[in-house]
Structure 1
Amino acid sequence: MAGKEPDPARPAEESPGGVAAGGGPPGEEASWLRRLAEEARSGWRLSAAPSEPPALTVAAVERYLAEAPPAAPRYWYDVTLADGAGQERCYLAPRLSRLVQRAHLHPGARVRLTRCSYLYDERRLRRGLLCIEELQPAAHPASPPPPAAARSLGRGPPPLRGERRHYLPLWNNEDPYGDMWCPIVNAFCFLFLMAVSKLISLGQLETTWRSRIHFRPLLVRVLHKSRLRYYGKPEKKMDMPYQAYFEVADGSGMMSMVLWNSLCPEWYNSINVGTVLLLEQYAVKDSYPFKTQPTPRDSQMKRFTTIEISLNVRNPPTKISIISEEMVKPEWGLPEVKYRFVTRTELNDLPNNHSCDVIGLVTFVGRVERTRKKEDSEDFWLYRWAHAIDGTSDKPFILEIFATSQPDVFERIHPMTYLVCTQMRVVRDLSENPSHTVYLTTSNESQIFITGWHKGQPYTKDTKVKNFIQWTRTQSEANQMRKTVIGGYYPFPRPPNNFLKYCKNNKVESVLKAIGELGEEIEGLHYREHKRIAIQGIISAIRYISCSSAAEDASGVEPVQLSSVLQWWMHCGTQSLLSLVWIQRRILQNPTNYQSEWEFQIQKINDAPETEEMTRTCSSWQSDLWAQVKDKLMKYLHHSMIFPESIPCKFDYMYKDLLMQQYNLHAAVHQPKETRIDKNISEFKNTGGFGYYEVTVLGINHDVAIDVAFLPVFGHEDPHLFPVEEVENDPLLSCMSCISSCQQATDEIVKAAMDLDSKHVVCILDVCHLGDDKVEVFLSKIYKTVEADVPDPV
């Protein structure tokens, strides 16, 4: 049983690891972690290296802003380990940060602590912490260990190292994280007695603010809410460097309101679109000129853009009260929240960057991915793709949804939920390719809502929302369920048809990567980081990897789960051990189904010559140049593996929570289920075709090559999941997309490949790190360089 969280002022000798391991009731032996911490603290080297460390469970991995110096890394990590008898919060040595960044070390993982040290805080008396210096992975037990003790409610302890007072979310900075962000229970003011004559309007405030020091109270309604902005830096010492913008309005117009610093954790989750606020003791400042502006939904409303209302904990200390909707009187003149909902049919006529709101039934939701905010930065945006239908068109809304500081909603988007997205921006480029599919992307002021979050939202009164609800009542749930898909690689948006368009706003030299640098580029990826990379090369070989019906009959599961995994082992190099362990685990689960296929494949891999291996992968074509250089390469990178996480799978409502967990990011805190579902992601029915292609790209200097994958997109029953027109301008990729159950080398593929024989092309690769050592690399587009300065599409 874990003990209580220690008080920050408690001497280190009473809590050597930062979190009490809680040796349990009197007389019970202390935990192994507590004894290890004491051993490290007592030694003259202040370190310990146990000879036979037991397997430990990672109970939590939490991130916080580092302190300067040193300049790097930007963030530190605290890791909570559990040994069955208690927990210990430890500081992770910065040189091990990559274990977290690549998701080797994550909550729920099993590890062995092979070396640790004890680090005293030289600026405090009798304070120290346990520092993790070396870790080794440990196998998961046949039966799960007893769950670690739950954390006590209330604000958790501060980070172990430095002066920071709160943790950040593990994978981005925009989401609220921790108990300090809970909405205020007593935020509502149910008795409002202040006379309207004692208030000041926004219009009056704009004309008189420079002549006043103190301002009369404001009564306003929130019309827009931005995502959180975290502006902390290692060299700056601020307790809560947060900021959030709101657009508030009264009968005179609309103005920006800014929530600063420690007021953000206190109020951000309590102030929502439609909330009525009474503001007292606020400040007024000149408006920041470079912030984003939401699109007003009421063209008649006046907008005050020169000043903004500033709410802070001091100078002056702002007083905020929320007026319950039942107390709001018509004579106050507060505007209602308006929306601009559009149907899927109306979307076709909207211009680029137009702002709108949408509602739809989700038919597809992709995995959560990350993209860097700046090159070489440790800060990321979180996003995912979704499709939603509204009954007005046979085409869905295609939605690019970035995290909107609503993690409870963002992580729970799943097929068959009713999804509302506000303040979305239209993305289209008719000048480049009129046939390219239009999509919508979130803005800084977007809000998202799903089933369970709609009650009480102002948009429920909108006519188009009511029409959508009426349409859903006419639909068959079973029919819609058959169309639902979740997760997998999502090849959208496709690169433009013109390479110069691809290079827009970038220098070509910085866009193109040397093929020999791809290994380092891939090694530098973080967990679920997605990158689109352009390389020059020569298409030298194409191999179709078939999921044979024989393997399917033998295994009783989808063929990609066995034959393709065996292909990974054949081609993967450093990842062979991981694939071997995966296959062994599957065989142990179903020994009868897998044994004969396993023995056959292992014998084949060990004994068969290369020509037989190529037969297994249904070799389609290779160039004469490849035959001459493939044995003389300086470097040959193998990244054509298709992982279960790469394949979209059919949504199964029975396993909704499990599927959502698989396609979300690892949580910061391990939350084991009381009833464990013994089902692997690879066991769900996938929506892929009948195989995939391995494409070999040879460097233009003939010394480096890379194998990448191409996943055909036409195997799914819903043609709108991967639009046909997105690849029809690539003759080679278009041919490879049209496959059947017995696909072999077709004349069309060979002809398209031979047209590129020995020619320099630009290949656009979609690269995503899936965690541990799993990296998928998909071929997305091929450009032919007709002239040195004028790249054209193939």
Structure 2
Amino acid sequence: AVYLLGRPLRGRESAGLNRGGTFGGVGAEMGRDAASASKQDSRIQRVYEEVLSSSQLRVSLQDVLPVTVVAVERYLAEIPPASNLPQPPASASPPRPAPLPSYCYDVTITDGMCQEKCHLAHEQNFLLHKNILQSGSQVKITQCSYMYNEKKLACGFLCIESLEIVGMCETPNRQKEYSEKLIMPLKGGKKHYLPLWNNEDPYGDMWVQNRVLEEATVNAKLISLSHLETSWRGKINYQPLLVRILHKSRLRYYGKPYAKADIPYQAYFEVADNSGMMSMVLWNSLCPEWYNIMKVGTVLLIEKYAVKTSYPFKTLPTPGDSQMKRFATIEINLNVRDPPTKINIIPEKMVKPEWNLPDVKYRFITRSELDSLPTSHSCDIIGLVRFVGRAERTRKREHGEDFWIHRWAHVVDGTSEQPFILELFATSQPDIFEHIHPMTYLVCTQMRVVRDVSQNASSTLYLTTSNESQMFVTGWHKGQPYAKDTKVKSFIQWIKTQREADHMEKTAIGGYYPFPPAPHTFVKYCNNNKVESVLTTISEMEKEIENLHYREHKRIAIQGIISVIRYVSCSSRTEDSSGVEPVQVQCLRINRQSRPGPPGLATISTAAHGPLCKKRLRDLAGSEVLNVLRPSPGGDRPPRPPMPSLCHNEERMSDASESEESEGTVHDSWQSDLWTRVKDNLKERFHYSNAFPESIPRKFDYMHKEFLMEQYNLHPAQHKPKEYKTKKAVNEFKSADYFGQYEVTILGINHDVAIDVAFLPVHSPEDLHIFYSENIQNDTLLSHMSCISLHSQETTNKEGLHKTLSLSDEIIKAAIDLERQHVICILDICHLAEDKVEVFLNKIYKIVEDNMMNQT
């Protein structure tokens, strides 16, 4: 069993246990403990005994039974050995840049009787980067070693060097919930763990959630913020401050491999009294003690604090009261020493009117007001969530291991047909961020307007969080200062007039969300891109994909030639009992009455084609044009890897397709003449046209709310018993208006490699695809590919999916217009987990823009 280490769970207070929870010594005392524990017949204990008895303190294990991973925890690694080398003289070469932070992982395992924390060897970190190894995994440990800390007595831990993952725990409710209380990591000198997927969220028991408030006496010997600003120099001790918190920033983790701080955290607050507003900084170990308790609106009595000149590059919130004076030259610093700060929270019921503390004020807007607001305008919003996307991660620095976590949401407030489109980054409120779901009431504060105006005056408009944003969902609104705001009250009155069913039918959760759209010009795309080389070669894409971490989203640009377009629809009518949605290849009957075309080409009937879009191109003239544009009956069908995601029987479909072809049908696809000549001589062809179940937004279902939220949040660091009884897989939930996709083959400009990617034309409820008119209005091919799916949806709703579908004349003509042309394709790539990577086409640029050549 993949059990390493251990001893029975006999109480962590035992003197023989080290900081990691394992036996720490050697010799007779450890042997006695181990012998006693072995009576429990623990698989982990047996492995522990075997590795300690090895002369190399390392063993390879065979025929072991699996153990369950109950926790995966991350912490900052020590300085790599190469970084400790002396720096070369300044005259010889420039100094080396500071190494990017890297991280270690501890894994806690259990066999049902024994629970043990082990270190994961660095070579196995990729299993966690890809979320292949995760809490709840069942693993077999095939090689492990024991490592002593040579600078401490009786201190050591087990290191997992090789393991085999055999599946997920099938009966999680029978496993003990992770309950480790020792917070210190096994390796190195770090004193705390970090959240598994980012650095901004509080994680672990050291973060205090509630505190018994001590009675504090507020005397007359207070100093105002205005007086403090004018008299702070030359002093060490200051009179107490009585202030109210008006704004709160997300946490900032500033740990470095070479830094000495034990708890390197920082958080900014904006506090105010009747004289004005000033920044206050919470440092280091005071962050776990106070950050969660200090809320917007909290009244503080602060004694023994430091005053320093303000950091000039920090962000500042926009005050709700535009008349409030801001003291920006200094900031209040709270630390555990120099001097040791004393903080008291004054309950709101004890706040006296004569203190004249300002109320928290907001800048709420309605959706109808948003269109007139300028870029970077700060505002607060409230609304009903209709859509929330999956949590994704974006790398902070190229090649680094630090990530931002974000998700998209659509929120309505009844003042407009359009929703608020929100880009929500983690705000150090994980309990709220992970519980945003459709039909909850969402409040977001200190949001910033993002408006990208194109040359034709259309614009992309959405709101994004700032460093000082706070979010609240249903269940968290009670007692919040914004409850008194007029626009919040108006929203509540509107909600009371609504029927829940009317909104439920428009909800969706998760899936691929192609927002924000790529800029309208490639020049602007280049200007917005911070990497050294904007363009990636098709051959380099494999490396890009290989380097993706779990849920990492990345947008890349490649040059190529559009060579094949194929429409694949997904029929809910053919879903089997397992809930897997088969992919059905749509075919067209050959119109044998039509005039024969050139040799080798088939003429296709267009009788079934109806109006596809309000802005459709004028009809193509002449059947000869159609003859040239359509593929031959034996047209290319690119080979594709197995698709367990949507298609469970590719072989059966292939047989069916061949059978239909023999009866005189063709695939609903188009291929260029160039493709027919080069496809058999390619050096490489990459297949990334799969749409996985996780790629498709699902209709929200209250009965399965907990399950759906779990699917689209990031995998938790700690294993917990499931709180739901859902037995369905995610692909058994009804999709949100998903009726198919396009597979697009992009040929490399040197005609030696190609890549298959997907395009999702319509993938969400009616208010979710509002951005398509902005995203693709200057992209003729994708514009018509989107329109055909809108048409297909109407056809499906009225006449069933069995109706014949086809590529429209507009799509074919747009593709022909691009034939043999070099274009730039913007691709959205995202690592979903394990070996599942989605690659979607977002935008196509023609290489005709002025100065474009200089941008790459």
State the TM-score, normalized to the length of structure 1: 0.90
The equivalent residue for 1:733 is 782
Output the CA distance in 2 between the equivalents of 1:59 and 1:306. 49
Q: Tell me which moved more, 755-764 or 606-615.
A: 606-615
Q: 1:95 to 1:337 in 2, by over 3 A?
A: same
Question: 2:94 maps to which residue?
Answer: none
For residues 30 and 507 of structure 1, do their structure 2 counterparts lie closer, same or farther at Cα, with a shift above 3 Å needed?
Answer: closer
Measure the CA separation in 1 of the matches of 2:11 and 2:847: 66
Partner of 2:748: 699
- Structural mapping, 1:75-114, within 5 Å: 75-114=103-142
- In structure 2, stretches of 5+ residues that fail to align are 1-7, 84-99, 586-636, 793-800
Q: Does the CA-based 8 Å contact 1:714-1:724 persist in structure 2? A: no
Contact 1:3 1:23 in 2 (8 A): no
- Letter matched to residue 779 of structure 1: L
**Partner of 1:517: helix, strand, or coil?**
helix
Q: Which of the numbers 501, 508, 519 marks the counterpart of 1:485?
A: 508
In 2, the alpha carbon distance for the partners of 1:184 and 1:674 equals 24
Change (3 A) 1:605 1:118: farther
Partner of 1:179: 205
2:812 pairs with one of 750, 754, 763: 750
Among 526, 532, 535, the residue aligned to 1:512? 535
Residue 218 of structure 2 is aligned to residue 194 of structure 1: yes
Once the two structures are superposed, the pairs formed by residues 124-523 of structure 1 within 5 Å of their partners are: 124-140=152-168, 146-151=174-179, 155-186=181-212, 188-190=213-215, 192-196=216-220, 198-432=221-455, 434-506=457-529, 510-523=533-546
Conserved in 1, the CA contact under 8 Å of 2:565 and 2:742?
yes
Q: Which residue of the partner structure matches residue 61 of structure 2?
A: 50
- Counterpart in the other structure of 1:591: none
**2:206 alignment partner, SS class:** helix
Distance 1:220 1:8, change over 3 A: farther
Identify if the C-alpha distance between structure 1 residues 542 and 611 changes in structure 2 by more than 3 Å, giving closer, same or farther: farther
Q: Cα gap change, 1:580/1:296 in structure 2, threshold over 3 Å: closer, same or farther?
A: closer
Tell me the residue number matched to 2:50: 39
1:663 to 690, 706, 712: 712
Counterpart CA distance in 1 for 2:470 and 2:186 is: 34
The match for 2:702 among 617, 633, 653 is 653
Aligned-partner Cα distance in 2 for 1:113–1:291: 47
Q: Distance in 1 between matches of 2:171 and 2:580?
A: 28
Alpha-carbon shift at residue 563 of structure 1 (Å): 5.0
Pairwise CA distance, 1:645: 0.5
1:621 counterpart residue number: 670
State how far apart, in whole Å, the 2-side matches of 1:485 and 1:356 are.
26
Specify the SS of the correspondent of 1:637. strand
Whole-angstrom CA distance in 1 between matches of 2:647 and 2:758: 21
State the one-letter code of the partner of 1:133.
Answer: E
Question: Does the 8 A contact of 2:138 with 2:169 survive in 1?
Answer: no
Describe the superposition over 1:127-147 as per-residue Cα deviations: whole angstroms up to 9, x where unpaired: 211111111121447655831
1:782 alignment partner, one of 831, 834, 844: 844
What corresponds to 1:592 in structure 2?
none
Q: Distance in 2 between matches of 1:290 and 1:557?
A: 55
Q: CA deviation at 1:256?
A: 0.4
* SS of structure 2 residue aligned to 1:428: strand
Could you tell me how far apart the structure 1 residues matched to 2:735 and 2:64 are? 40
Distance 2:528 2:363 in 1: 32
- 1:307-342 CA distances to partner (integer Å, 9 max, x unpaired)? 100000001000000001111111111111000100
**Distance in 2 (alpha carbons) for counterparts of 1:492 and 1:101:** 25
Q: Give TM-score, length-normalised by structure 2.
A: 0.84
Contact 2:247 2:296 in 1 (8 A): yes
| CA drift at 1:230 | 0.2
- Residues 1:380 and 1:719: Cα distance change in structure 2 (over 3 Å): closer
Q: Deviations over 1:718-771 (max 9, x none)?
A: 355544332222111011112214321321111110100010000000000000
C-alpha separation in 2, matches of 1:127 and 1:278 = 43
Structure 1 match to 2:76: 65
* Greater Rg over alpha carbons, structure: 2
Between the aligned partners of 1:352 and 1:273, the Cα distance in structure 2 is 26
Whether the aligned pair in 2 keeps the contact of 1:498 and 1:791 (CA below 8 Å) is no
Q: 1:438 to 1:145 in 2, by over 3 A?
A: closer
Residue pair 1:297, 1:338 contacting (<8 A) in 2 also: yes
Contact 2:739–2:762 (8 Å) recurs in 1 = no
**Does the C-alpha gap of structure 1 residues 366 and 677 become closer, same or farther in structure 2, counting only changes over 3 Å?**
same
Per-residue deviation, 1:643: 0.3
Amino acid at match of 1:136: E
Give the Å deviation of 1:546.
Answer: 2.2
Q: CA–CA distance in 2 between the matches of 1:517 and 1:85? A: 48
- Structure 1 distance, partners of 2:665, 2:16, is 65
Q: Determine the C-alpha separation between the residues in 1 that align with 2:20 and 2:724.
A: 38
CA distance in 1, matches of 2:495, 2:504: 13
Closer/same/farther in 2, CA of residues 617 and 506 from structure 1, 3 Å limit: farther
Q: Which of 760, 763, 769 is the aligned partner of 2:831?
A: 769
Match of 1:74 in 2: 102
Q: CA deviation at 1:561?
A: 4.9
Q: What one-letter code is carried by the residue in structure 2 that aligns with 1:105?
A: L
Amino acid at match of 1:343: T
- In the alignment, the residues of structure 1 paired with residue 363 and residue 723 of structure 2 have an alpha-carbon distance, to the nearest angstrom, of 44
Percentage of identical aligned residues = 59
Task: Show CA shifts across 1:116-160 (max 9, x none).
Answer: 1111111112221111111112144765583125416xx533111
What residue in structure 1 maps to residue 617 of structure 2? none
Counterpart in the other structure of 2:685: 636
Alignment: residue pair count: 761
Counterpart of 1:728, as a letter, is Q
Q: Distance in 2 between matches of 1:307 and 1:292?
A: 14
